[in-house]
Amino acid sequence: METITLIKSKLNALLTLAFSFFMSVFAFAQDTAGGVVTTENTTTTTTEWYANPVYIIGGAIVLIIIIALIARSGRRD
C-alpha cells in the first residue's frame, strides 16, 4: 500500500514538473516585439484599443465591482 502511495506522489510531482515546463515553453514562444500594437498605412498610424492601458485598468475596476456585487448579494443580513 505504501508503494502505491509513493508512486502516486512521484507521478504527481512529475506531472507538475512537466506542466510547468510546457507552460514556460509556451510563454517564451510568444512574440516579444512588445508594447503597443500599431498598424501603419501610408497616411495614418492607428493603435488598437486593447493596447491602451486606460481600457485595461477600467475593465479591471468594472470586473472587481461586479465580483463584489455578486459576492455581496449572496449574503442575507
* Residue 39 sits in the same domain as residue 9: no
* Residue 73 sits in the same domain as residue 49: yes
The tens digit of pLDDT for each residue in 36-74 reads 666 666 666 667 877 888 888 999 999 999 999 888 887
Total domains in the fold of the chain:
2
pTM score over 0.75:
no
Give 63's Cβ-side CA count (13 Å radius).
Answer: 6
* Residue 76 sits in the same domain as residue 46: yes
CA distances, 17 to each of 25, 38, 62, 69, 73 (Å):
12, 37, 36, 38, 40
The tens digit of pLDDT for each residue in 3-25 reads 888 888 888 888 898 988 888 88
More confident residue, 2 or 41: 2
The neighbouring-strand residues paired with 46 are 39
